[in-house]
A and B are shown apart, each in its own frame.
Chain A
Amino acid sequence: MKNMLTIISNALCRITGRNVGAQTVSEGTRAVVSRSFADFTSQATFDIKKCDVHRLEEGPPLKAELTREQGLRYYRIMQTVRRMELKADQLYKQKIIRGFCHLYDGQEACAVGIEAAINPSDHLITAYRAHGYTYTRGIAVKEILAELTGRRGGVAKGKGGSMHMYAPHFYGGNGIVGAQVPLGAGIALACQYQGNNQVCVALYGDGAANQGQLFESFNMAALWKLPCIFTCENNQYGMGTSVERASASTDYYKRGDFIPGIRVDGMDVLCVREAFKFAAEHCRSGKGPIVMELKTYRYHGHSMSDPGVSYRTREEIQEVRSKSDPITMLKERMLSNNMASVEEFKEIDIAIRKEVEEAAQYATSDPEPPLEELCNHIFSNDSPLEVRGTNPWARLKSVS
């Protein structure tokens, strides 16, 4: 047993070229009780799926490097998004969250992979399935959940709700399908105008991909070479309508026509990251916009009022869960390359569960916004004004 472990250990040293460190495991103990930090592979290279490209001589690389630190970080962020969305599901069923709630579980690799590829000073805008991006762009879980429950501690003080959360360099959270795409092109125009070498990622779904205003945006972005990464999160269904029933062409990465495009495996966080590094470089180098298509999948229905099984089979959902789950894929990659231990992942899971539970506690106990806030934030940087209430004697006050 001891010899076996030493052989493996030495083999690892040769493969990675690093001193994994000889480990001594006493007789009779189980293989792993507590492993020291130095036991793990600190970096590995993985093969990733080749991306289909449109109007590009070359695409993103076929290999991705992952450090242990990165891997644990991506795992933690994806798992946090996953657990946060599942908690939102729970709170919605308890009627503590009302109205619209569009959950992101299954699509985590997209948000995390994109964030890993861009800088915090870059810009991002998406549609209404926005909780994951709100988190990756820097807002704490408790502020997101408290916004869903409509409390004063919510990121928009309870005034926005699920679809209207904002953060520095994150422009929501937009409820009107497709409207966020011209906004994203405009943000890219501001980057170009200000000469700050930043890019904007403008996300939309397969349903929005047929909106006219997208093509208007593609046209202007290409004409003016705006640094905009137009990104279609293709989760196969626009509400209850499958892509084949909605789009004459389902090659969303080609829909930019004269704009180069890349189709990416959206379930693989490394594939997403490498593709977006490529895309960001393309935009920063002044080549103009690019269209990305992330093939991904949502486990939930379109929203909490859609069970999600009238237009697709439970078998299909289960198949994706078992074969392509983004979090499981990353974890298995890391485990099989000795980059982390099962215990470590368990510890991370426990910590996340605790964080999400505490956030839910906060979100259910934080008070609702005060009525005095009702009319505030109509105008920015303005003197106070009077707002008519429900009747002529209700003269309410609004401050900026």
Chain B
Amino acid sequence: RLKNIVLGWNDLLCSKPMMVRDALNQAMDEELERDERVFLLGEEVAQYDGAYKVSRGLWKKYGDKRIIDTPITEMGFAGIAVGAAMAGLRPICEFMTFNFSMQAIDQIINSAAKTYYMSAGFQAVPIVFRGPNGASAGVAAQHSQCFAAWYAHCPGLKVVSPWNAEDAKGLLKSAIRDDNPVVFLENELMYGVPFEMSEESQSKDFTIPIGKAKVERQGTHVSLVSHSRYVSHCLDAAVVLAKEGIECEVINLRTIRPLDVECIETSVMKTNHLVTVEGGWPQFGVGAEICARIMEGPAFNYLDAPATRVTGVDIPMPYAKILEDNSLPQIKDIIFSVKKTLNV
């Protein structure tokens, strides 16, 4: 009975569940209010309330000056956003999906990421590029690519990939307050997923530091390292594996660049086994980088087996549901890979 009372109090202290899209909305709202230099631009962000409703209500509250609908011209409006950042504003540049950011990638890399270095510290570019990244459902090859590895390759960028609502809110606030170009990779399939929000995340000053991973589940037998939507898959796989006596430690990267290698190393030195899980393609990807880093560091000597990568299939995304489902890591793939790694 006492336990129930304590749990009841616990529920009161936590707020009611919040969806990821609302957490993102709240983050932008709070930052727009806090700093008048912050503004949002992108396709349909204003009068349409956002293609995925992430910016719902913001135009009504802040008006044309702060929430700007752009024409469908990514290279142009991304460049305009970068120029505005150079001249003293703090833009949030939304890509309807990151697939379209490819048209603007020169502005992101050459105009934004490299400028502080090229100018030897004279010209900062405080900008956030945000939008949904990776696979959605049934949107086929040109609308399903994961760009984590592409952007994380480049010095001068920070690349963030939140998983749950609290991640979304805290990390987006940090990204907006950061004086550097931040690529903020959301996930469309997570927008409508509700999560409990902690007490402290209610504060308007709640931020989560960029560059720090979080251990979502403690474990002793294997380190499952993932980002974005696949953290959910890892936690689900961990529940199934626990029934068989395999305790997984699940790490939510939160940030892809800079990668929190220390967190992964500490975990691997405890569990002796590493499995990475991502939605992106295998070659030259996030998992590949993690494996390379582990090999170069102290944790290598603690591995009892080679590290394993669970990734998207190395093909353009097909349309038919059965094909699409089998193009991405499923929970059974994670379970299978863990068991193979543990040789059980």
List the interface of chain A (C-beta within 8 A of B): 123, 125, 156-160, 164, 166, 171-172, 174-176, 179, 181-191, 193-194, 200, 212-213, 216-217, 219-220, 223-224, 376-382, 385, 387, 392, 400
Give the residue of B68, B77, B83, B179 whose beta carbon is less than 8 angstroms from that of A380.
B179
Check: B9 CB closer than 8 A to any chain A CB.
Answer: no
Q: Output the residue of A160, A172, A224, A379 with the most chain B CB within 10 A.
A: A379
Q: Which residues of B are found within 8 Å of A377, using beta-carbon distances?
A: 116-117, 119-121
Q: Which residues of A are found within 8 Å of B179, using beta-carbon distances?
A: 379-382
A220-B73 in contact (CB<8A): yes
Offer 23 A-B interface pairs, CB within 8 angstroms, sorted by A. A123-B87, A156-B120, A160-B120, A171-B86, A172-B118, A182-B80, A183-B111, A185-B83, A186-B79, A186-B86, A187-B83, A187-B86, A190-B83, A190-B86, A216-B75, A220-B77, A223-B71, A224-B68, A378-B117, A378-B156, A379-B180, A380-B124, A400-B121
Task: Name 7 extra pairs, CB < 8 A, besides A176-B111, A183-B107, A378-B117.
Answer: A156-B120, A175-B110, A182-B75, A183-B111, A190-B87, A376-B121, A377-B116
Q: How far is the CB of A400 from chain B (nearest CB, A)?
A: 7
Cα(A184)–Cα(B296), bound, Å: 44
Cα(A174)–Cα(B109), bound, Å: 13
Cα(A189)–Cα(B122), bound, Å: 21
Cα(A171)–Cα(B258), bound, Å: 27
A182-B65 in contact (CB<8A): no
Cα(A160)–Cα(B116), bound, Å: 10
B110-A184 in contact (CB<8A): no
A382-B120 in contact (CB<8A): no
| 6 closest cross-chain pairs (CB), A and B | A186-B83, A182-B79, A216-B76, A190-B87, A183-B83, A157-B120
Check: B192 CB closer than 8 A to any chain A CB.
Answer: no
A179-B121 in contact (CB<8A): no
- For A186, the closest partner residue in chain B by CB is B83
Check: B82 CB closer than 8 A to any chain A CB.
Answer: yes
Check: B81 CB closer than 8 A to any chain A CB.
Answer: yes
Check: B199 CB closer than 8 A to any chain A CB.
Answer: no
Q: Which residues of A are found within 8 Å of B77, using beta-carbon distances?
A: 182, 216, 220
Cβ < 8 Å to A, chain B residues 106-130? 106-107, 110-111, 115-124, 126
A392-B124 in contact (CB<8A): no
Cα(A42)–Cα(B50), bound, Å: 62
Given contacts A216-B73, A380-B180, contact A166 B119 (CB under 8 A): yes
Q: Which residues of A are found within 8 Å of B107, using beta-carbon distances?
A: 179, 182-183
Q: How far is the CB of B219 from chain A (nearest CB, A)?
A: 28
- For B73, the closest partner residue in chain A by CB is A216
Q: Output the residue of B119, B155, B180 with the most chain A CB within 10 A.
A: B119
Give the residue of A157, A190, A217 whose beta carbon is less than 8 angstroms from that of B79.
A217
B86-A183 in contact (CB<8A): yes
Q: Which residues of B are found within 8 Å of A188, using beta-carbon distances?
A: 83
A183-B82 in contact (CB<8A): yes
Q: Which residues of A are found within 8 Å of B83, using beta-carbon distances?
A: 125, 171, 182-190
Check: B246 CB closer than 8 A to any chain A CB.
Answer: no
Q: Which residues of B are found within 8 Å of A160, using beta-carbon distances?
A: 118-120
Given contacts A156-B122, A159-B118, A159-B120, contact A183 B76 (CB under 8 A): no
Q: Output the residue of A181, A186, A220, A392 with the most chain B CB within 10 A.
A: A186
Cα(A171)–Cα(B85), bound, Å: 11
Cα(A174)–Cα(B119), bound, Å: 11
Cα(A377)–Cα(B179), bound, Å: 12
Check: B78 CB closer than 8 A to any chain A CB.
Answer: yes
Counting contact residues on chain B (CB < 8 A from A), the size range is 35 or more
Q: How far is the CB of A173 from chain B (nearest CB, A)?
A: 8
A190-B89 in contact (CB<8A): yes
Q: Which residues of B are found within 8 Å of A166, using beta-carbon distances?
A: 119, 122-123
Q: How far is the CB of A201 from chain B (nearest CB, A)?
A: 13
Q: Which residues of B are found within 8 Å of A382, using beta-carbon distances?
A: 179-180
Q: How far is the CB of B261 from chain A (nearest CB, A)?
A: 10
Q: Which residues of B are found within 8 Å of A172, using beta-carbon distances?
A: 115, 118-119, 123
- For A198, the closest partner residue in chain B by CB is B87
Check: B70 CB closer than 8 A to any chain A CB.
Answer: yes
Q: How far is the CB of A123 from chain B (nearest CB, A)?
A: 7
Check: B342 CB closer than 8 A to any chain A CB.
Answer: no
Cα(A217)–Cα(B68), bound, Å: 15
Cα(A387)–Cα(B119), bound, Å: 19
A220-B70 in contact (CB<8A): yes
Q: Which residues of A are found within 8 Å of B110, using beta-carbon distances?
A: 175-176, 179
A378-B111 in contact (CB<8A): no
Q: Which residues of A are found within 8 Å of B63, using beta-carbon distances?
A: none
Q: How far is the CB of B79 from chain A (nearest CB, A)?
A: 3
Give the residue of B78, B79, B122, B126 whose beta carbon is less than 8 angstroms from that of A181.
B79
Q: Which residues of A are found within 8 Å of B156, using beta-carbon distances?
A: 378-379
Check: B17 CB closer than 8 A to any chain A CB.
Answer: no
Cα(A184)–Cα(B80), bound, Å: 7
Give the residue of A187, A193, A220, A381 whose beta carbon is less than 8 angstroms from that of B124.
A381
- For A171, the closest partner residue in chain B by CB is B86
Q: Which residues of A are found within 8 Å of B68, using beta-carbon distances?
A: 224
A186-B80 in contact (CB<8A): yes
Q: Which residues of A are found within 8 Å of B121, using beta-carbon distances?
A: 157, 376-377, 380, 400
Cα(A2)–Cα(B126), bound, Å: 70
Cα(A377)–Cα(B114), bound, Å: 10
Cα(A191)–Cα(B86), bound, Å: 11
Q: How far is the CB of A224 from chain B (nearest CB, A)?
A: 8
Given contacts A182-B79, A380-B121, contact A174 B84 (CB under 8 A): no
Check: B306 CB closer than 8 A to any chain A CB.
Answer: no
Cα(A181)–Cα(B280), bound, Å: 33
B84-A190 in contact (CB<8A): yes
